[in-house]
Structure formats: C-alpha cells, structure tokens
Amino acid sequence: MTERLEIVFLGTGSPLPSADRCGAGNVVVAGDTNVLVDCGWGAARRLVPAGVRPASIGVALFTHMHTDHMTDVPDFLFQRWTGGATVPLRVFGPEGTQEMIDGFLLALRRDIGYRQAHHGDKLHPDGIRVEVTEVPATLEPHQFLRMGGLSFESFEVDHFPVVPAFGYRVRFGGRSAVLSGDTAFCETLAAAAEGADMLVCEALNAGMVNQLIGMLRFAGREREAALMEDVPSYHIATGEIAALAARAGVGEVVLSHLIPPIPNDAEREAEFMAGMDATYRGRVRVARDMQRIEVTRRRA
C-alpha cells in the first residue's frame, strides 16, 4: 500500500487582507513525516484545526523573505515547543534565512527565558532551538534534503527584486509535486514542473486585479492603486499557469496565494479560474485554508 502524500494548505492568501485566507503556508505530509513550507501571517494558527500537531514538524522550508511567507514563525516556534518538541527545528531556505531566524529568536529571547523560568524542565531546551541551512540558488532543481523516501529539490524562480526566491519539488513514493513559491512566469518553473503529478502554483487573476485598481482609484485611494499596479510584474497570471501546465504535462494544478484574495465561494473560485480550461485540459482547483489535497499519480 502506497503511503500518503498530501499538501495541507494553511494559508492561501497574499499580503492583501482577507477574512478567509491567511498568509502563505503549507505542510507536505509524506507518510508520517510533516514538513512546513512557509509560515505567513495566521498560518501557524491553522495547523491544529487542519489536523497537524506543531510538534510533529521537524523541518521547515522557506521560499523567500517576504512578510506574508514568514511572519508567523514566532507563533509556530512556540506552538511547537509548548506542544512537546524535544529536538531543534531544522530550517532550509535561500540566502537571508539565517538572518530572519536570528532576528525572530532575538526578539523572543526574553519570552523564552520567562517560559523556561516558569515551566522549568517541562519545556525541553532543545525544542526552541533552530538549525538553519541556507541552500544555494540554482536554476536547475538541486536536491538538498532527503529523509528516507522523501526528497526535496530547490530551484530559483523569478520574483525580482526578491533575489533569491525559490520553488520546491518534492518526491515521495513515485509521486511528485512542485510548489512554485512566488514568481512570474519563468523557464525554471516550467522545467521543474515537467511531468509533475501536481503543481501548487501561486496565481494572479489579471481582470480581478484591474477591477481592484479601478475601485481603489474611484475611492480616492491613489497610492494603494499605484502600489497594486506594480504587483503583476512579479506574479504569474492564471492564463500563464495554464500554458505552463499544459506544456509541462502536469497532472493537476492547485491554485494558492491568490491575488486578489477571494472568499470561500464556489462562484468566485470559478471566476478566478475562468479560461484556464481552454489551454490546460487537466484538473484545476482553488485551494482553501485548512484543505488537504492528496497528490496522486498523473494519467499518462
């Protein structure tokens, strides 16, 4: 019997406020192993409701250093520690990951001391420690982590001026999934997605973004409208995702990190995906926070 490979979606939103969608965060579930990928605002609070014990996570990966991908790290560290972790968290990510973790731990230094003084040996001292490995940026997928039959490969994507920014490819039990991270359309993502069973891809709906810009201008919020006009330059649009997935022969596409964020509403989700089926014939769906989606083998 093949062990499960699932993606748990903790946060499917973007920096834009949303009642339904937290900042970026996923858990890759491979058999009994849980790996966190990004931890943006609110994502840590989705773990327990999504059925993932924080202390069961021994490894965390980060795609890049934007706030909506990492500002819930302190909450995750404390949930993991107070939940019974007895070994350091192993963290992997691009250049800048060590600085990010050091900064959070410095900010938490007094709180850590207070909790140790209060709870004593009920909290294992190693459970709040973090061991960071910064992974080199490569255009082709580079394997940097293997745990039994589970492996992770990193590849650089185009999120300029955020350099480096990573996507990840996971392999387990004869199946593969690619997590795009934040990126414009780029050849490195297309190559990494070649033959993947699932592509978890950030997504921008250009029409909805233009509507939002128009609404902001109509409301006299010119500065916010001008900022939104910058957004499409380093994100991938739904039509581009469909073309990439068709070219790469991807088994199915799951959209996340939605720009703009939309409510958990089937009609709005259909509107967000509209037109993709003209180019890509596989299954496309919009993920929701706390949803679990199994990675299954693509049909030949």
- Confidence band, pLDDT 50/70/90 cuts, at residue 1: low
Please report the pLDDT score of residue 45 as a whole number.
96
Per the prediction, the chain carries an average pLDDT of 96
Q: Compute the average pLDDT of residues 162-171.
A: 98
pLDDT for 98-121, tens place per residue? 999 999 999 999 999 999 999 999
Please report the pLDDT score of residue 300 as a whole number.
62
Q: What is the pTM of this model?
A: 0.96
pLDDT for 228-268, tens place per residue? 999 999 999 999 999 999 999 999 999 999 999 999 999 99
Please report the pLDDT score of residue 299 as a whole number.
74
How far apart, in whole angstroms, are the C-alpha atoms of residue 44 and residue 47?
6
pLDDT for 113-152, tens place per residue? 999 999 999 999 999 999 999 999 999 999 999 998 999 9
Structure tokens at 127: 């459970």
Q: Do residues 208 and 181 lie in contact, with contact meaning Cβ atoms separated by under 8 Å?
A: no
> What kind and span of H or E run contains 80?
helix 73-82
Report the DSSP pairing between strands 252-259 and 198-204.
parallel
How far apart, in whole angstroms, are the C-alpha atoms of residue 34 and residue 31?
8
Closest CA to 62 of 75, 50, 71, 53: 71
Structure tokens at 162: 């955020």
pLDDT for 172-226, tens place per residue? 999 999 999 999 999 999 999 999 999 999 999 999 999 999 999 999 999 999 9
> What kind and span of H or E run contains 239?
helix 238-248
Q: Give the residue extent of every domain in the chain.
A: 5-294
Positions marked catalytic: 68
Task: Give percent of the chain above pLDDT 90.
Answer: 97
pLDDT for 37-82, tens place per residue? 999 999 999 999 999 999 999 999 999 999 999 999 999 999 999 9
- Confidence band, pLDDT 50/70/90 cuts, at residue 156: very high
Residue type, 222: E
Helix, strand or coil for residue 119?
helix
Helix, strand or coil for residue 249?
coil
| The CATH number of domain 5-294, selected from 3.40.50.10190, 3.60.15.10, 3.40.50.2000, 3.30.43.10 | 3.60.15.10
